[in-house]
């Protein structure tokens, strides 16, 4: 992998992190509501 990262790669990385956080919230929210 290249050491220099472009702005698009950083943006995609942030979008991926946000998507994972949203997915975990969607999966965990019903568990907390049921419990």
**Cα–Cα distance measured from residue 16 to residue 2, given in angstroms and rounded to the nearest whole number:** 19
Q: How far is CA 27 from CA 6, 12, 33, 35, in A?
A: 32, 22, 11, 13
Q: Domain total for the chain? A: 1
* Residue 28 domain boundaries: 1-35
pLDDT of residue 1: 54
pLDDT tens digits along 1-33: 556 778 889 999 999 999 999 999 999 998 888
**Cα–Cα distance measured from residue 31 to residue 27, given in angstroms and rounded to the nearest whole number:** 7
Opening angle at CA 16, ends 24 and 10, nearest 5: 145
**Cα–Cα distance measured from residue 11 to residue 29, given in angstroms and rounded to the nearest whole number:** 27
pLDDT of residue 35: 80
Q: Which residues contact 1 (CB under 8 A, 6 or more apart)?
A: none
């Amino acid at each position: 992998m290249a050491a220099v990262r472009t702005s698009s790669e950083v943006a995609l990385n942030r979008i991926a992190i946000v998507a994972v956080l949203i997915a975990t919230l969607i999966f965990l929210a019903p568990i907390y509501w049921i419990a």
